Each structure stands twice: as C-alpha cells, then as structure tokens.
A and B are shown apart, each in its own frame.
Chain A
Amino acid sequence: MKLVKLLSLAILIIAAGCGPRKPVLHIYTWADYVDPDLVAAFEAANSCRVSIDTFDSNEAMYAKLKAGGAEYDLVLPSSYQIALLRSQQMIQPFDQSLLPNVNQNVDSDYIRFASDPTLEYAIPYAMTFTGIAYRTDKLDPIDASWSVFTNSALRGKCTLLADMRETIGAALKANGYDINSTDPAEIETAAATVIEWKRNIAKFENEQYKTGLASGEFILTHGYNCDVLQVQEDCPDIDFVLPQEGFSFTFDEFVIPVAAPNPLLAHAFIDFMYQANSAAANIAYICSLMPVKTAYPLLDEELRNSPVIFISPAELDTHGQVIQEVGEALPLYTRAWDKIKATK
C-alpha cells in the first residue's frame, strides 16, 4: 500500500517536472503586485512560464540577491535601493531596442523623479506616496498639515506609521527640513516633534491602521496611498490629503540583475507592462500609478480623477521628496527612533 502511494507520488513529481520545456521568467517582487490576468496573457503571448517569488522588504530582497545562488530575471526594488544595487554592479543596463512601448508610452513628467531618468538601469513600475487619511463622516475637513497630529480632539484616535524613515521624515518636513537630512540637530528636533505627536496618537502602526480606519477605531491615520485606496473601496467616507509641508514618495522600479538567465524575456515583460491596455488594467489592480501616459485615458472615470492615485508632477516638485539612503547618518536615525520608542 505504502509503496504504491510512494510510487504514484514519485510519478506525479516526475510528470510535473517533464512536459514540454517552456522558458521560465523568474520575477522577484512584492506580494500581489501585478495583475495575475496580465501574467497569464503574457505567458500565452510569449509561450513561456512566469514564476513569481515574493519578498517583504527591500533589505530582504537585497540580502537574497547579494548572497547569490538565486538567479532572478526581473526584480522590483524601491528607488532608494537602486543606487546601492548599481554601485555594487548587481544590475545590468537595458537594451532600449527591445523596449519600444516603454520609450513611446512612458510619461516624461514622472520619470524625472525616478532613480534613473534616462531609463538606462531602472524603469519605474509604480509610484506610492504617503499622506494623511481621515474619516470624513467623523471629522470636519482638516488642514493638510502634519500639525493635525497634535490636535487634542484626535487623542487616541490617530496613528502614525511604524516606519523609522517615514515617520521621522514626516517630522523633518513638518519642521521645514530635508527628508534625507544628515544634520544631527535637525534629526533631534524632528525626534522631539514625533515625541510630541506620540503623546496624542493611539500607536505607531504599519498594517492594522487599514482595519482601524475601516472600522472607525481610528479616524485619522498616516498611511500609504495604495493602502488608503484599498480601504476606500470598502468604506467610501475617507479622504486623503497631502500635507503642505511636504511628504514622501517612491517608485518601485524594474531592474534586471547581471546574472539573469533570461534577460530577453525580462525585457519582453517590461515592454508588455508598458502597453497602454495592460498598464491600465494593472493600475486598477495595484491601485498605484504606473507612469504610462497612454494608459490614463483608458482608466475608469473614478480612478482617473482619484487624488489617491494621481498626483500632479507640480505637487511632487514642490512638496514631494523621495526617501534616499542616508549612509553614515543612519545611526542618527536609529538613535532618534529608539528614543521616540522609549519615551512614554
């Protein structure tokens, strides 16, 4: 009996391994970060198989790539990681002749904010930014300002992100400093601001704020635009504002590692995602803006006019800033963050 079972299992495994050998494109990305219907369409069009592995942070992804032994064809890190990948010579330049859709459809208003505006080593995939979301049914319209976190009417009913760089960054902006400041005094001031906010907020929260916002436990939260859009689908009484002192944004970008076994398919995939109709479907799926200008007219009216997805380049110019690696100043941030966490 047991032998029969083992044998049939072995046959199953072998059968799974055989069959016509299709080329495989290995993508390393965030969970649920590409519309699965598009992946299926790409597979059919290129008679290949797409295998998606997922990471939960840029650091985990970097460690995996750096350690070796794992050869991916296409990776989607955030902007700030790309300089590092490039300086370590871990990514290869694109062959522009294989990317006609990218060159035609890319929205030049946005790519200048990406890590590589020449699109030589990195091509932007999607943009996310942080701001303040609040329940319009429980709160009168608020000033678009970080100072809202000191509003005593919100005591215990608002949250800040539990992310060192995002939250200290918000405080740096609130004080009128650079989001990537390396000045100890500025970071000190920002830490004091966060501590002041901390006395008023319910907690620092990266995940559960979505649940809290939907249930009304929190009426105002610091959050990512794509998360807020997700909550809005369930609970329409939510408004999202960008603090006028400044906010952070970032791109996740396509890169091809040097050791990619199948760079041709990787190029084909990028180009496929830059087709107007696939980009439009994908924007609706991931709730983030892809800088593909020909896709915008194909979007639903609601998405097209959503301030949670679209943010004007002028706004990015005046108020937005990308969080970058701060190198040797990082300990200043970790120390400030420890102090914030330790203060009652």
Chain B
Amino acid sequence: MKRSLLPIVILIIVLVFLYLPIVVLSLNSFNASRFSGTWDGFTLKWYSTLMQDRTIWQALVNSLIIATFATIGSCIIGTTAALALNRWQTRLQTLHNALIYTPLVVPEILMGMSLLLLFTALKIDCGRHTILLAHITFCVSFVAMTVLARLQDFDTSLIEAGRDLGATAFQAFIKIQLPLLMPGIIAGGLLAFTLSVDDFVITFFVSGPGSTTLPLRVYSMIKHSRQMPVINALSTLLLAVTFLAVIASRLLQIKRVSRSHPFISTTIGGTNK
C-alpha cells in the first residue's frame, strides 16, 4: 500500500509556519537596509550597534538577573508547596491548593495592578526587587504544578525502604525524594525562567527607575526607535544561544543515558553508606 503524503505535507506546512518568521528575522539582522522590505546587501553593522548599545545590554542583564533569582526562589517555594499539598489532605490544604492555582487563572493585568498597589501602600520603591517578587509570585504556581504532577506517581515505598535501611527522614528526602523529583523541579524551573524573561504586563506595572527589562525595552523601541534592526540582531543572538544550549543538553543526556541511569545509582550509593 502506498503511504499517504498528507502527513509529510502537513508537517512541512507547520514547520514553515513556525520557523519562517524566525528565518526572516535572522536574515533581516544582516540586511543593510533599515527597512525589512528591501535587501540592500549583507552587513554586520546592526551587531556592532548592538554591542555598543548600553541600554539594551543593561535591559538584558536586568532580565537575566531577575529570571535567575525568580527561578531559584520559585523552585524552592514551589517544591515545598507541592510537597505539602501532596502529603496532607486537610481543609487548609484545599485552600492552599486554591491559592496556588489562582495566579494561573488571574489575568496578568489584575495581578500587576494589585502588586503595584501593594508595593505603593507599603511605600516600597519599585525596581528590580519588586519585579523579582512579582515574578516569584506567578512562577511559584507553575513550579508547584509540575512538581505536583511528578509527586502524584511517586512511589513512596522507595522512601520507606530508605528509612528501613537506616536513613533519617532528612537523608531520605535529600538522597531519595529530591533526586527523583529533580526532573519535575528542573522542568518547572525552566518554565519559570522562560515566563520571567518573557513577562511584559506584570513587569510593566512593578518596574521602577533603572529596572527596564528586555521586553519593556523592546516594546518601547518598536514605537520609537531608529535602530529596530538591532532587535533582530539581538533576537538572532538569543536564538543561537538557545539552540546551542538545547543541542548541548541533548548531547549530555545521550552520554549520561549510555552510561547508566543516574538516579538509581545515586540512591543506591546513598543508602549503602
């Protein structure tokens, strides 16, 4: 029987739809013309302008600092929240569950507004720290949800076995549960990082002097800038870094899997001590 061509055609259409805009953007970052409609030849001038543009780098640094700390903070709080939600089924935990869920459904604009009102009521000057607090607030939910999903099919007999073999509750958590939950925490953390780097609406409300993040900066440039292609250059660089990171992590994973399963070996090593 002849195989249908339809799936491959659909695949190509979808890939073109997803990646064509990115290709156009990357090509335009090398376009000598400031306007994307015409091709005036190859240039690297937008990259050199980008290198000299202090405010864009400052915005990128702000974004990365905030995203890193928001990820760390929300991973810690989100994981502990998930553990508590999984362990106890009291009425208080039902409320806790609702609280964790709320930021997922509350419109961003409402959250930004209310956080700003809170900060001004407390007389806290806005800046990077308020953006960080706001980002942790909405990232916690995403981390808690992913970790909770992992906890739901967690085999508690592993912990019981560890305790039987002499591990304290703390050891059992650190050496058994945490490594097994790690993929969930890392997934949640990546989600948190992406959301934090991306966020515009909430950040707009709680930003202050000297804390412009990359999305805020890019948005203000779209309306009023002579250097739009610089954004193309920056996006191309960010894309390159992302692709390299993904390829690197893939390669690492292949190496690791070919050796042995990392988590089993650590848990056995831990309990044997």
B230–chain A nearest beta-carbon distance, Å: 9
Residues in A whose Cβ lies below 8 Å from that of B126: 69-70
Residues in A whose Cβ lies below 8 Å from that of B223: 30-31, 56-57, 206-207
Q: Mark A291-316, 1 if CB is under 8 A from B, else 0.
A: 00000000000000000000000000
Complex interface: stretch among B48-56, B172-180, B253-261? B48-56
Complex Cα spacing A136 to B58, Å:
41
Interface presence of B227 (CB below 8 A)? yes
The SS class assigned to the A binding surface is: mixed
A1–chain B nearest beta-carbon distance, Å: 13
Residues in B whose Cβ lies below 8 Å from that of A287: 226
> Are A55 and B35 in touch, CB under 8 angstroms?
no
> Are A230 and B125 in touch, CB under 8 angstroms?
no
Residues in B whose Cβ lies below 8 Å from that of A54: 55, 212, 216-217, 220-221, 224
Residues in B whose Cβ lies below 8 Å from that of A286: 226
Q: How large is the interface on A (under 10, 10 to 19, 20 to 34, 35 or more residues)?
A: 35 or more
List residues 212-240 of chain B with CB under 8 A from any CB of chain A.
212, 216-217, 219-227
Interface presence of B208 (CB below 8 A)? yes
Interface presence of B33 (CB below 8 A)? yes
Interface presence of B137 (CB below 8 A)? no
A selection of 15 A-B contacts at a CB cut-off of 8 Å is: A9-B68, A36-B52, A36-B54, A53-B207, A53-B212, A53-B216, A54-B212, A54-B217, A56-B219, A69-B206, A70-B208, A211-B37, A217-B37, A230-B34, A231-B35
Among all A-B residue pairs, the 6 with the closest Cβ atoms: A215-B37, A26-B209, A54-B220, A214-B35, A211-B35, A51-B210
Question: Interface residues, chain B, CB within 8 Å of chain A?
Answer: 33-38, 40, 52-55, 58, 65, 68, 72, 116, 119-120, 124-126, 130, 204-212, 216-217, 219-227
Question: Interface residues, chain A, CB within 8 Å of chain B?
Answer: 6, 9, 13, 24, 26, 28, 30-33, 36, 51-57, 60, 64, 67-72, 206-207, 210-212, 214-215, 217, 230-231, 233-234, 286-287
